[in-house]
Structure 1
Amino acid sequence: MNVNKLKLPEIQEELETTQTRQLSELESNNWESLIKTIHAAALQVLGSKTRNHQDWFDENDAKIRNLLTEKHRLFMIHQNDPDSTSKKDAYCGKRSEVQKKLRIMQDTWLSNKANEIQGYADRHDMKRFYESLKCVYGPTKSGTFPLLGADGSLITKKNEILERWAEHFDSVLNRPSDINDEAIQRLPQVPINHVLDTPPTEEEEVVTATRQMSTGKAPGSDAITAEVFKSGGRYLILKQTEFFQVLW
């Protein structure tokens, strides 16, 4: 979802209002229902994240379209009368002009983008620096690399690679213990912290924990980012507190 919209106060207010309304209509208080409601409300307000990849066509699309349209018009005139030298020269001249202008557009866009990225690097703004690089080059493609099997053969199929990794970690992690139980018993014991058994009764505890969440990070399996929880409002904090009390 497009959490960048939360930079606008009116969007934050709309998200809080929407979540408060939908959570107040929630009948069950289980985690799955709570998460689905929070995600649905956030997606309704924020929408999906738009395509972020940029190239020099993006910002010059109208100019390029006009150039190509004119070149295509002269090309069709030349095709309809291929023996005409003047029409052929007009088409070839326009084609050279279009190619020259497109190269200038591309060079200008790349130069401006390079200056922008260099500015982020000079200001040590690493977040925007890497975001700009990703905008230009696009997201990296995930893939699999071949592995060597236990018998030394090369494994290239994805399912066989996963099975080989499972076999490897099973052999590494599931090993008999060599720890001496008597040595463990001689270790000094830490006093039990009974405060941890106390359920969170105050909403401020949940507020404090929510404020400490890091923003700008990828969401977990519930597809909800920290920004959504931080902008959810007081009623979301209340529902979370009630759930944590039940869970405790």
Structure 2
Amino acid sequence: MAQHLRNSLQERLPKQYPEDVKGHWEALKTTILKTSRDIIGFKTSKHQDWFDENDAEIQHLIDAKRKAFCTWQNDINCKAIRQAHSKAKSDGERTEKQLVDGEALEIQWLADTGDTRGLFSATKAVYGPIYQGLNPLRSKDGQSLLKDEAAISSRWREHFQELLNRNTTFEMEAINQISQRPIMEHMGDPPGHNRGPECHQKAEQRLPVMEA
């Protein structure tokens, strides 16, 4: 496919471009996009969306909402945009609920009848396939791409070891500019059991009063 795309681009790219930069870019962009769409196409969704079967109805609601928005830009007192937004929201929620209810009834019927294969297919159509894989990671020098689990774990271990064991550096000039605060020698005394009268008074105030 890559070779086919390359050959198609070489055939379709214009031989001469407009002199201005904008025209040059538009011609190049249009050719690349059209060729890529024809050869590769767009990515299609693997799961069933609730709006797949209602594209025309939803598109009509979106067009009405956009039209109301253009009207509101010219007249901020126009209430059409609020009505269009409310209708698009309510109709969209209604359509989604109808599809979800239908899918739920179908899946429940498949479960009740013991159709395991149909149950799996219906559930997969709703939730879509689950992709499980490792995220590749660049090596320390950035030249290679690590794809196996052992190499990725080793690279993360190396990264955090370097991150958490860095040598701390500081400027003595900045330390010397910090003014010396008075040293409180009593903070180094061991704690004792003898407390002053103020401490006992505060402790008594915090005690709950028991009524007879």
TM-score by length of 1: 0.37
TM-score by length of 2: 0.43
| RCO higher in structure (CA 8 A, sep ≥6) | 1
Greater gyration radius: 2
